[in-house]
Structure 1
Amino acid sequence: MLVAASWPGQVATAPLPPAAAARVREEGARAPAPDLLERREQSMPAPGAGPKTAALSWSGQGCTAAQCHSGIEPIRDPDSEMFKRIIEIGRAAGDPDGCVACHGGDPRAEDVASAHRGAPARLAREGGPDAFFPDPASPWVNERTCGRCHAELVAAQWRSLMMTEAGKIQGTAWAFGSLEGYDHRWANYAVASLAERIGTPAYRAYMAAKAGAHPNVFVSSHEPLPDAPAGLGLRQLAEEPGRAAFTYIRNQCQRCHLGVRGRQARGDYRGMGCGACHVPYGNEGLYEGGDRAIPPDEPGHLLVHRIQATREATVERPAAAGAPAVRWSGIPVETCTTCHNRGKRIGVSYQGLMEAAWDTPYTEGGGGQLPLHTKHYIALSRDVHYQKGMLCQDCHTSGDVHGDGGLAGANLAAVEIECSDCHGTPARYPWELPLGWGDEDAPGAASGPPRGVARELPAHLERGTLYPQADGYLLTARGNPMPEVVRVGDRVLVHTAGGRDLWLDPLRRKADRGELSPAAEAAMVTTPRHLETMECYACHATWAPQCYGCHVKIDYSGGARSFDWVSAGRRHGTPAGRTARGENGFDTTIPGRVV
């Protein structure tokens, strides 16, 4: 028996899928060591946990005919409002099972080629799919799919830092010779900010002031990233070696932006656009659902045909090969680490994993670990939030990940949460702090009236799981409510997307009850300047193994070439590439190879 860990956030004793097992045997190793897996999978419920999915019977017509996708999973629980709406749209277009609402295609066709072509005319006229979409979540088409219900978030995705990558571009350009100084001119695609940010009036006012204080970071528009040196331009490298940055950025840094599916390697399989986060993929990139039309041994497929999002959006991996069915909710940390395993390494650091030069610890069969994200890891200290079972989304807000419609050139500019938003300080509860505490533009404490709590949520946040507001929703440092974090008297209750309800005692409550440790007293009470001039994680960072950069060499000799992920994204933006499921077959290479 092998340890199967090819679906996100789970550990179960069962045979690996045939293709994965063959790969393990070929490399002379078994699956990653159990201790390492335990470190990676703490945040998810045990196999079989979670609410059960409502039963569903497909019509057996069109897409779900016996010879087609009869065994596919419903994209959401059949009792959910989202699924009911999909069925309603599909039936109006002649598809009783709703597949065309997202994928388009011809539900009345009798062969695969015809079924996977075009779209019902009525659907296209109403703003739905106007062609067959293999990947409806792709940003190049999702205005006609996800955007029919989530228009503001689909518009915001083009301004999010995970699409523009303006921070990585500026940082790399700086390291190669300050090509754009402190400005954030360039992004993967030309884009301008929306007229109004998504958020509360208080948030929009706060961000207007913040943007005014940092105009080189909160910009109104981005220019497209310049081309990599090629042709006669290669001769310029002798005089302007810094231009090699564009080769490095396009080949290495940008394979994780939302406009492409990115590198298809173990641990890196994902979708693009909304599907990069909201569609589950396993480490092996193999489909493990019930649809016989999807090859189970062909890497590059989603894990199951299901959306993962909030606590009520339950995902189930069916029982197979002796392994029990596995259910979870929320977006597993492993989904985030398909991208966040490089640069700051924040995803794998959160899990307590650090890159290693060796493939130890050895497995029970004597072999080394399989590579993950093309690297090997050792288990160190996990973040305390991870140990408590919290997912990335339990702290990060909708604006952090979807974007708010504005342009931000760095992580600190895009992220609106601060530790004090939940923990407060020894002198004040979170709701007693003014807006801006911990997010100051200069050393010193923010000033103003207490921020209080929220009694209502913006419309886009009401579409997620709604929890009882108790004494009010806590606010971020920038003024948006956190719908999963509520005040209950002088305590805080955090409802995690994974299904846990965690009680938190703010620092003020601990101080009043004499429960602060001597170290906490010294750091925050005896020396209050620490809180006024330093981030909490300046000290609370022992969990984060750091990478301080690489010695990069780019070899342009011998006709060496490498893949250009930015050009690949722009190829998706053409009529010919718009509906492509990924980048396979794209001839978007540039001179030079990073070694």
Structure 2
Amino acid sequence: MNGYQKISAVLGFLLLLLTVGAVIRQSHQPEIVEIIPTLTGRPELCLTCHQGIEEISASHPQEAFGCVLCHGGDGLALDADLAHATMRGGSVPGTTGNPSDLAVVKESCGGSACHSGAAEDGSDHIHRVLTSVQATYAGAIAQVNYAFGQQPDPAARWGVFAVQDDNITTETGVPYLEKFSPGPDAPEAIHAFSQDCQLCHITAVPLDQPYFFRATGCAACHTIYENDGLYRGGDPTIPRDEPGHAGSHQLTTAIPYYQCNHCHNRGNYSLRQMTFLERDDLPGPHNLTAQEQRALDYYQPIAQFTLCEWELDCVDCHTNGEVMGDGDIHSSQGEIQYIQCQTCHGTLTEMPLLKTIADAEDPAIVSANLNPNYSVAVGDTVIATTRDETFGWVKWDGKRLLETGKVDGRLYEVPLVIDSACRQQPDQQESRYCHECHAYEREGN
């Protein structure tokens, strides 16, 4: 073989390698999936990799919103690092891919046409959440500072972040909070509290372990995490055996009690030790039946509970305003929590407050449209609260008060105090009074 033939052979071999490489690359290249969301008019290729991911919610349809409008990122990049480099989210691990994290929520979820609307129609969601006790942790900070002589009364002065409210509408609202940052002369207990006891607000990254898994910001409540933290959806890029993921890529208002439990009732904080004392009686997430799991998971051994506390979910009683805030900055959750037993059960002499829906744009109908388990129509008569919020899932049919569970659609008849043997008084609205007669374990269960 002469020199020319050798060169030709080498070039031919190199060409063969290039051809084989191209074929291999082509065989590993995913099928390009392009969408053009109507709200942006710009093409996106995100579903090329995330084909099968769940639509986030019916009110955020994929064909209208796409991915980039909320998540940010480069919608045309097929390399994961390039596509995700500019995604919106928090700045610490566990929050970086979450556009509802409170550090970025105004940018991703805000706007007057979305969640930064007017207080009058209840669409000022972001302001309400940012000023809520769940976000600021102002109540706990105030109580601990007061207990250790760092402030003269329990009124809120500090939050986990600074926030201001220029439109106070309640007697207990305060105008602003400064960022809580204990000075060098603060007692050791205050520094320990600042360091160890601030996992219980929706800007904090939770413990990375069973029962505690959740997101931050809006998704802390509206995106469901199972107790084991495993993903059960259709996105092929999310490992099924890696804890720390939501059960699916979805927002919901059908929020089960165990989602609330990721923060509430996982244990207690010790003022003496200034540390979190985790419960030691929690079973593995898969070891019990649903009822056994709930009894042990939700209720501490010393607790009593009534049948409604056992069968219903937290969202069946607590209102949007109580949980997300009313737009004012408060010094404690007690200042905004106003639902009582008589809200649904009435009193010895009066029926519960009722309201007949007359407007198709009534918030009761708007809220029902976001939940798959109940419906409200013009002409329906529903429970109303003293602050004119409505329980659209609790309806009066002319003879009975019927409640539809917001999580499972189960139907309950609500017993009324009037014309019953119950002796409940208007000033006896704490659950402890109900427990005197209606404690669940006293009924043989």
TM-score of the superposed pair, with normalisation by structure 2: 0.71
Following superposition, the deviation at residue 464 of structure 1 comes to 1.9
User: What secondary structure does 2:396 align onto?
Assistant: strand
User: What secondary structure does 1:162 align onto?
Assistant: helix
Change over 3 Å in CA distance of 1:501–1:135 after alignment to 2: same
Please say if residues 266 and 374 of structure 1, whose CA atoms lie closer than 8 Å, have aligned partners that are also in contact: no
User: What secondary structure does 2:395 align onto?
Assistant: strand
Which 5+ residue runs of structure 2 have no aligned equivalent? 1-30, 35-44, 117-123, 270-276, 369-374
Following superposition, the deviation at residue 382 of structure 1 comes to 4.4
Please say if residues 73 and 289 of structure 1, whose CA atoms lie closer than 8 Å, have aligned partners that are also in contact: yes
**Equivalent residue, structure 2, for 1:144:** 107
User: What secondary structure does 1:485 align onto?
Assistant: strand
Match of 1:104 among 68, 72, 80: 72
Q: What's the % identity of the aligned pairs?
A: 28
Match of 1:225 among 180, 186, 190: 180
**Equivalent residue, structure 1, for 2:13:** none
**Equivalent residue, structure 1, for 2:431:** 537
Match of 2:307 among 384, 400, 410: 384
CA distance in 1 between partners of 2:282 and 2:331 (Å) = 37
**Equivalent residue, structure 2, for 1:339:** 263
Please say if residues 172 and 245 of structure 1, whose CA atoms lie closer than 8 Å, have aligned partners that are also in contact: no
CA distance in 2 between partners of 1:471 and 1:379 (Å) = 41
Change over 3 Å in CA distance of 1:535–1:381 after alignment to 2: closer
CA distance in 2 between partners of 1:409 and 1:357 (Å) = 31
Please say if residues 289 and 304 of structure 1, whose CA atoms lie closer than 8 Å, have aligned partners that are also in contact: yes
CA distance in 1 between partners of 2:346 and 2:51 (Å) = 52
Asked if residue 472 in structure 1 is aligned to residue 381 in structure 2, the reply is yes
Which whole-Å deviations, capped at 9, do the CAs of 1:263-289 have from their partners, x for residues lacking one? Answer: 222111111110001111122222222
CA distance in 1 between partners of 2:202 and 2:363 (Å) = 21
Following superposition, the deviation at residue 196 of structure 1 comes to 6.4
Match of 1:463 among 366, 374, 378: 366
**Equivalent residue, structure 2, for 1:203:** none
Match of 1:491 among 394, 400, 422: 400
**Equivalent residue, structure 2, for 1:75:** 56
Which 5+ residue runs of structure 1 have no aligned equivalent? 1-57, 90-97, 120-127, 198-206, 212-216, 238-242, 310-329, 346-353, 432-450, 525-530, 546-595
Please say if residues 68 and 75 of structure 2, whose CA atoms lie closer than 8 Å, have aligned partners that are also in contact: yes
Trace 1:274-353 onto structure 2 (pairs within 5 A): 274-309=218-253, 330-341=254-265
Please say if residues 418 and 477 of structure 1, whose CA atoms lie closer than 8 Å, have aligned partners that are also in contact: no
Change over 3 Å in CA distance of 1:392–1:374 after alignment to 2: closer
Change over 3 Å in CA distance of 1:407–1:137 after alignment to 2: same
Change over 3 Å in CA distance of 1:461–1:191 after alignment to 2: farther
Trace 1:63-462 onto structure 2 (pairs within 5 A): 63-65=46-48, 68-76=49-57, 80=58, 82-84=59-61, 86-89=62-65, 98-118=66-86, 134-148=97-111, 149-151=114-116, 152-177=124-149, 179-195=151-167, 207=170, 211=171, 217-227=172-182, 233=184, 236=185, 243-309=187-253, 330-341=254-265, 382-388=305-311, 390-431=312-353, 455-456=358-359, 461-462=364-365
**Equivalent residue, structure 1, for 2:17:** none
Change over 3 Å in CA distance of 1:251–1:456 after alignment to 2: farther
User: What secondary structure does 2:331 align onto?
Assistant: coil
Change over 3 Å in CA distance of 1:375–1:503 after alignment to 2: closer
Following superposition, the deviation at residue 387 of structure 1 comes to 3.3
User: What secondary structure does 1:173 align onto?
Assistant: helix
Kindly name which structure, 1 or 2, has the bigger radius of gyration based on alpha carbons.
Answer: 2
Following superposition, the deviation at residue 101 of structure 1 comes to 2.3
CA distance in 1 between partners of 2:226 and 2:380 (Å) = 40
The one-letter code of the counterpart of 2:410 is: R
Please say if residues 357 and 377 of structure 2, whose CA atoms lie closer than 8 Å, have aligned partners that are also in contact: no
Change over 3 Å in CA distance of 1:266–1:358 after alignment to 2: closer
CA distance in 2 between partners of 1:272 and 1:359 (Å) = 23
User: What secondary structure does 2:242 align onto?
Assistant: coil
Following superposition, the deviation at residue 344 of structure 1 comes to 7.4
CA distance in 2 between partners of 1:288 and 1:165 (Å) = 32
Asked if residue 501 in structure 1 is aligned to residue 411 in structure 2, the reply is yes
CA distance in 2 between partners of 1:374 and 1:252 (Å) = 23
CA distance in 2 between partners of 1:427 and 1:402 (Å) = 32
CA distance in 2 between partners of 1:298 and 1:101 (Å) = 27
TM-score of the superposed pair, with normalisation by structure 1: 0.54
